[in-house]
Amino acid sequence: MRRRPAAWLLAAALACAAVAVAMYLINPLGTASADFGARLWGRTTLDMPSAAMEPTLAQGYELVVDAGAFRRGLPRTDDLLVYLGPDGPRVGRVVALPGQEVALRLGEVFVDGERQPAPAGVDVETGPGPGRDLPETRVPQGHVFVLVDNRDLGGDSRESGPVPAARWVGRVVAVRR
């Protein structure tokens, strides 16, 4: 008689595991991440992969990412977006949304012809230099235009174009130093 409860527990554990695997494969949050936590619970952590977002985020900071954020709506301007780049996860600041026109002139960002202030605490280099000029670009539907805070490092929409929704992992909601 003692074996039946153990068999019942084993069956329940296998059923739970099967549901977890099914939810992972279904990916109900639609995140681009293959991370189990992002797909199942909607939250994951990521170590800041580079110095591209300094001084806002230093390399090695642990980021808490809400993978379900964009199921509830589009990113907003100034959101810190984690997305899949050609070489793995990247983090960038959303500067333009679908349908908007974005341009860079001597390092300053213009959206729909209006100059945008630099993010708080970020000293953006202005003047002539590599990557500081970009002709007006209309952001397609289902895409956002992202820039890194440390613009001299690049690795953002200036090089790879607007980021499609299929590559969005989530929004940074907390930082652990």
Which structural domains are found in the chain, ordered by start? Answer: 3-176 (2.10.109.10)
3-state secondary structure of 177: coil
Contact 164, 141 (CB under 8 A): no
Q: Write down the pLDDT at residue 4.
A: 60
Q: Write down the pLDDT at residue 102.
A: 97
What is the DSSP secondary-structure string of 41-62? Answer: TSEEEEE--SSTTTTTS-TT-E
pLDDT 10s digit of each residue in the chain, 177 long? 455 667 778 888 888 888 778 777 777 767 777 777 777 777 888 899 888 898 889 998 999 999 888 887 889 999 999 999 888 899 999 999 999 999 998 888 999 999 999 888 777 777 667 778 889 999 999 999 999 988 887 789 998 999 999 999 999 999 988
Single out the residue of 128, 109, 111, 134 nearest to residue 119, CA to CA: 109
Q: Rounded to two decimals, what is the model's pTM?
A: 0.83
